[in-house]
Amino acid sequence: MLAVIGRQATGAVAGFGRFGLFLADTARALPDARTWGRIIFYQMRRIGVDSLPISLFIAAFTGIVLALLASYTFTGAVPLYLVGTLVGKTLMMELGPVLTALALAGRVGATMAAELGTMRVTEQVDALETLAYNPYAYLVVPRVAAGVLMFPVVVAFAMGMGLLTGWIAATTLLPVTSAEFVRGLRLFYTPFDWQYGLIKSSSFGLVITLIGCYLGLDARGGAEGVGSATMRTVVYSAAMILLLDAYWAVTLLRHA
Q: Does 224 bind other proteins (CB under 8 A)?
A: no
CA dihedral 90→93→95→97, nearest 10 degrees, is: 160
Give the contacts of 197 (CB within 8 A, at least 6 positions apart): 92, 93, 94, 96, 97, 155, 159
Residue 127 binds other proteins (CB under 8 A): yes
126 near other proteins, judged by CB under 8 A: yes
Question: Which sign, positive or negative, has the C-alpha torsion 105, 108, 109, 111?
Answer: positive
Residues 133-162 that bind other proteins (CB under 8 A): 133-134
CB of 226 to other proteins, least distance (A): 13
CB of 106 to other proteins, least distance (A): 20
How many residues can be counted in the chain? 256
- CB atoms inside a 10 Å sphere around CB 224: 11
- 4 contributes a contact to other proteins by CB under 8 A: no
Q: Does 130 bind other proteins (CB under 8 A)?
A: yes
**Residue number with CB closer to other proteins (60 or 125):** 125
Instruction: Determine whether 6 is exposed, middle or buried from the number of CB atoms within 10 Å of its CB (0-12, 13-18, 19+).
Output: exposed
Residue 1, number of CB atoms within 10 A of its CB: 5
Closest distance of CB 206 from other proteins, Å: 24
Q: Which of residues 103-122 bind other proteins (CB under 8 A)?
A: 119, 122
* Residues 162, 57 contacting (CB under 8 angstroms): no
**Closer residue to other proteins, CB minimum distance, 69 or 128:** 128
Is residue 170 within 8 A of residue 67, CB to CB? The reply is yes
* Least distance to other proteins, CB of residue 131, Å: 4
Q: Binding of other proteins at residue 18 (CB under 8 A)?
A: no
What is the total count of residues that contact other proteins (CB under 8 A)?
A: 14
Taking CB under 8 A as the rule, does residue 131 contact other proteins?
Answer: yes
Of 110 and 207, nearer to other proteins (C-beta) is 110
Q: By CB under 8 A, name the one of 6, 12, 21, 123 that touches other proteins.
A: 123
Q: Which is nearer to other proteins, 122 or 177 (CB)?
A: 122
Among 124, 171, 195, 228, binds other proteins (CB under 8 A): 124
205 C-beta neighbours (distance < 10 Å), count = 29
Shortest distance in whole angstroms from residue 110 CB to other proteins? 17
Residue 208's identity, in one-letter code, is: I
Exposed/middle/buried for residue 158 (C-beta within 10 Å: 0-12, 13-18, 19+): buried
Residue ranges that bind other proteins, judged by CB under 8 A: 28, 119, 122-124, 126-134
